[in-house]
Amino acid sequence: MPYPRRRLLLASLSTSLVMGRARASGPLSAPPAAPVSGVVLPLSGDFALIGDECLRGVHLAADAVNAAGGIAGRKVALAAADAVDQSHVVAAVNQVIGGGHAGLVLGTGTSALSYPGSAAAELAQVPYIELNAPASGITTRGFKFLLRTGPTTSMIGGLAVSTIQSRFAGRKIGLLFNTGATGGAIAAAVISALDDAKIPVLLAIGYPEDVTDLYDPAGRFMRAGVELVLHAGGPSDVLGFYLAMQAQGWQPGAVIGCDTGYALRETAEALGAAFDGTLAIGAPFYQGGAAQIAQAYEAKYANPPRSADSLTAYVGAKLVFDTLNAQGGSTDKLLDVLRKVDVPAGGLANGFGVAFDASGQNTRSFVTLQQWRGARLVPA
């Protein structure tokens, strides 16, 4: 049978010709390596759930970019470090920059870690992209190597006041807040916005980060006749407050949650029917154009998204990866290019646009009013 042999000879000849051309023109050059992106998040400790949710968003962004060809023809390279808490975050940043050879850092999951983490990157003169820590003061320190793609506590305060004006005018207001970096910044923003609108607060109660019992604040609100509670607190704070209300048989007319504890699906599942109707102010949850990202999340992690933090991290990380790819993988001018990016509102998957101001804040990020209904967070 001559034909198989002929095909074999032709294939061998074709291979020889290709190899000959390659040798004649010199060695084939590989595409440049993609720059390493450091990821610094709390992956253990008190903020681990939020940190892990952010990390999932970064990984989904990397998957999307890799499916489209990667950065400079190579897969996205990530070096992650566990920030744990404020005493570890500087070491985590130095770890990804030094040991991981990261040319930029993505972070940080919570404001308490963003302050020292971004300062460490500033000292090293490495770009630091804050994805979702909201304290407004993070971007008011005059840093040159810092940009934030997500919303701020000032945005939260502004929406809280406009919600009161449009839906709860004349109600007796109680403000409850964790005095940590995020909760304290939210409370300051809310108080400032209420003062500007000349809306009085009947009772404001702050409590330390390590508090385990909110029975007393709930009782004080009840005795004062509070009708609307604004609460800035983490997951354990929300559980503590609702259990304290239940124990005293009291429920205000409405609760508006302004912090991460009110954005988590786990919180709604833990509290059940008692949480139905609770309002939450935060970055947009998975709606509309983010449906495909939610599907990719569920396919990868075998459960639906736990909070909007993963989506907020996704859009910020993907913006960075896409910009790097457009620059051929170079981080040298990353911040300069990002500062000039102009994406109208609605241009990103969660509805954000992109326009950085002089401080490094994305002015086209925003927060929305949402409501828990049957363990689902939907637009209010």
Count of residues in the chain = 380
pLDDT of residue 212: 83
pLDDT of residue 130: 98
Q: Please report, in angstroms and rounded to a whole number, the separation of the first and last CA atoms in the chain.
A: 76
pLDDT of residue 5: 36
pLDDT of residue 75: 96
90 alpha carbon, distance to own chain's centre: 19
Decide whether 36-151+287-366 matches 154-282 in CATH topology. Answer: yes
The whole-model pTM stands at 0.90
pLDDT of residue 33: 65
- Torsion angle of the four alpha carbons 301, 302, 303, 305, in this order, in degrees rounded to the nearest 10: 30
- Torsion angle of the four alpha carbons 48, 54, 55, 61, in this order, in degrees rounded to the nearest 10: 170
DSSP string across 326-377: HTTT--TTHHHHHHH--B-TT-STTS--B-B-TTSBBTT---EEEEEETTEE
DSSP string across 201-264: -SEEEEE-TT----HHHHHHHHHHT--EEEEE--HHHHHHHHHHHHHTT---SEEEE-SGGGT-
pLDDT of residue 7: 37
Which residue from 9, 2, 85, 6 is spatially nearest to 40, judged by alpha carbons?
85
DSSP-derived letter for residue 170 is T
- Within 13 A of 248's CA, how many CA atoms are on the CB side? 18
Query: Computed from CA positions of residues 295, 78, 317, 340, in that sequence, does the dihedral angle turn out positive or negative?
Result: negative
Indicate the fold that domain 36-151+287-366 takes in CATH: Rossmann fold (3.40.50)
Residue at 13: amino acid letter:
L
* CATH pick for 154-282 out of 3.30.420.40, 3.40.50.2300, 3.40.50.300, 3.40.50.1100: 3.40.50.2300
3 state DSSP class of 28: coil
**Where along the chain do its domains lie?**
36-151+287-366, 154-282
pLDDT of residue 122: 98
pLDDT of residue 19: 35
d(CA 298, CA 143): 37
DSSP-derived letter for residue 322 is H
d(CA 232, CA 280): 10
Query: What does each of the 380 residues of the chain score in pLDDT, given as a tens digit?
Result: 443 333 333 333 333 333 333 333 334 444 556 689 999 999 999 899 999 999 999 999 999 999 999 999 999 999 999 999 999 999 999 999 999 999 999 999 999 999 999 999 999 999 999 999 999 999 999 999 999 999 999 999 999 999 999 999 999 999 999 999 999 999 999 999 999 999 999 999 999 988 989 999 999 999 999 999 999 999 999 999 999 999 999 999 999 999 999 999 999 999 999 999 999 999 999 988 899 999 999 999 999 999 999 999 999 999 999 999 999 998 999 999 999 999 999 999 999 999 999 999 999 999 999 999 988 999 99
Query: Computed from CA positions of residues 255, 213, 240, 49, in that sequence, does the dihedral angle turn out positive or negative?
Result: positive
pLDDT of residue 35: 85
pLDDT of residue 34: 67
Rg of the chain on CA atoms, in Å:
25
d(CA 106, CA 79): 10
159 alpha carbon, distance to own chain's centre: 19
Structure token pair of residue 208: 């330390």
Q: Within a 10 A sphere around the Cβ of 125, how many other Cβ atoms?
A: 9
Angle, CA of 256, 239 and 211, to the nearest 5° = 100
